[in-house]
Structure 1
């Protein structure tokens, strides 16, 4: 007959594997960390169960054939709270749709780690602070809508390197300084900048002078 200690040696790992724990999936952990920051009065995140192997069965989360999160859509959900650096762990994310909510605080610079991002829609929230310069690393980005927030500071000149950017909207914020014209910024309409403290557009090729910004 096996000794109690030997029995425990074999049984304990099995019991631990059956006990509810946080997902070992980094994307699931990142989304669960996000949920902990949020107020969700209509309970749209009730399916976000951290004990699952991955978050691909959660509502408002879309995965590809390899079970990587490629879309997060929490638009029009009456959610409030802040975003944290954990969102930068969603390395395969292509679409980040958080518009028309009550998100506040600063936009995390870690969003610049989302190298596969095609569209980022953060408009109609309460984000404040500066537009992260790290967004310049989002070389696949085509749509960046930050309008109708409380953003301050100038438009980072680093964003002029985003050659794939087709839509850029920062209207209805409190931005200041001059409007870039290099790179894709030569094609964006002036409506993209209205209701700020911006001036310009600046003269092409000259160093921007953001007086009082």
Structure 2
């Protein structure tokens, strides 16, 4: 048995103090400095009460550290009315950050911070339900590890940058409920992810949907409540894994009788457009269809019998040119 013998208790006391300090503080000092600067930039809001300089920042609220390196990998600042001002440039001083979330902060204003371009390890970017403004910056396309971008419920305006299609790992793009204008970029046909999620609804987008989108295997796509025109049939296809399509409240005009739908389709909303033709008999084979609306179009002919089509009510079909059959009136 090893026995530690000391003539004085002081060296032993110093040893334990050193041992405790060195192992209690796991957070990298540069990361801690960046976080404290973020706190100061937000006027030391009560939200950051746990961010005490004398404590390990890996234990702070809204902060996550890597288990091995102890570098900050996630910063989630959400749901607070007291936090105000612009996105602090100090977020760019967290080089190992993989996830940045600024969510439900109604007093967050100004542009998307250029310093975010320094976060080359970023995979998840969520700046939503805020009052940020300006345009969507091109520099996002340089963050090649991004898989998820959500910039919804904001005052962002201007065109959607085509450069976003350069992101090789992007799987989810949500830019809905803002003030974006212009065309859907043709380059968006270059997204490679299998099962891509695209949400651009509630904006002021116009023009035709680019035919290049026929190359994208959408899991879910929502382009509703814009001013999009022309053909949207390239969104569909028999061999896709698409489960949700919402193209409602646009100016779309195509022959629905020629569209082939994926059997995985769960939700289809095409209401308030100029879609013509009839409902293809193949729709009776869509056994997963749970939500459906083609009202306020120019459809004609008999609603095919069978499958799920008869379980939807009149409101899913009404205000069409000459559509008939259950649940509408019988065809003459």
TM-score class, shorter-chain normalisation, is 0.7 to 0.9
Distance (Å, rounded) in 1 between the aligned partners of 2:95 and 2:113: 15
1:57 is displaced (CA, Å) by 2.4
Distance (Å, rounded) in 1 between the aligned partners of 2:132 and 2:192: 23
Q: How many residues of Structure 1 are paired with residues of Structure 2 in the alignment?
A: 179
Secondary structure in 2 matching 1:158: helix
1:140 is displaced (CA, Å) by 1.1
Q: Of residues 187, 191, 215 in structure 2, which corresponds to 1:184?
A: 191
**2:158 counterpart of 1:153:** yes
Distance (Å, rounded) in 2 between the aligned partners of 1:142 and 1:39: 32
Structure-2 change in CA distance of 1:184 and 1:76 (3 Å): same
Residue 82 of structure 1 contacts residue 104 of structure 1 at CA under 8 Å; is this kept in 2? yes
Structure-2 change in CA distance of 1:126 and 1:38 (3 Å): same
1:136 is displaced (CA, Å) by 0.7
Distance (Å, rounded) in 1 between the aligned partners of 2:197 and 2:209: 11
Distance (Å, rounded) in 2 between the aligned partners of 1:76 and 1:156: 28
**2:119 counterpart of 1:114:** yes
Distance (Å, rounded) in 2 between the aligned partners of 1:96 and 1:106: 16
1:77 is displaced (CA, Å) by 2.9
Residue 109 of structure 1 contacts residue 133 of structure 1 at CA under 8 Å; is this kept in 2? no
Secondary structure in 2 matching 1:92: coil
Distance (Å, rounded) in 2 between the aligned partners of 1:118 and 1:136: 12
**2:209 counterpart of 1:201:** yes
TM-score by length of 1: 0.75
Secondary structure in 1 matching 2:78: coil
Residue 112 of structure 2 contacts residue 136 of structure 2 at CA under 8 Å; is this kept in 1? yes
1:126 is displaced (CA, Å) by 0.6
Distance (Å, rounded) in 2 between the aligned partners of 1:185 and 1:123: 25
Distance (Å, rounded) in 2 between the aligned partners of 1:95 and 1:50: 23
TM-score by length of 2: 0.50
Residue 119 of structure 1 contacts residue 141 of structure 1 at CA under 8 Å; is this kept in 2? yes
**Is there any run of 5+ residues in structure 1 with no aligned partner, and where?**
1-22, 206-213
**Is there any run of 5+ residues in structure 2 with no aligned partner, and where?**
1-26, 214-332
1:49 is displaced (CA, Å) by 2.3
1:185 is displaced (CA, Å) by 8.4
1:39 is displaced (CA, Å) by 5.2
Question: Aligned residue for 2:58?
Answer: 56
Q: Of residues 66, 69, 86 in structure 1, which corresponds to 2:90?
A: 86
Residue 109 of structure 1 contacts residue 135 of structure 1 at CA under 8 Å; is this kept in 2? no
Secondary structure in 1 matching 2:169: coil
Distance (Å, rounded) in 2 between the aligned partners of 1:39 and 1:114: 24
Larger RCO (alpha carbons 8 Å, 6+ apart): 1
Structure having the larger proportion of residues in strand: 2
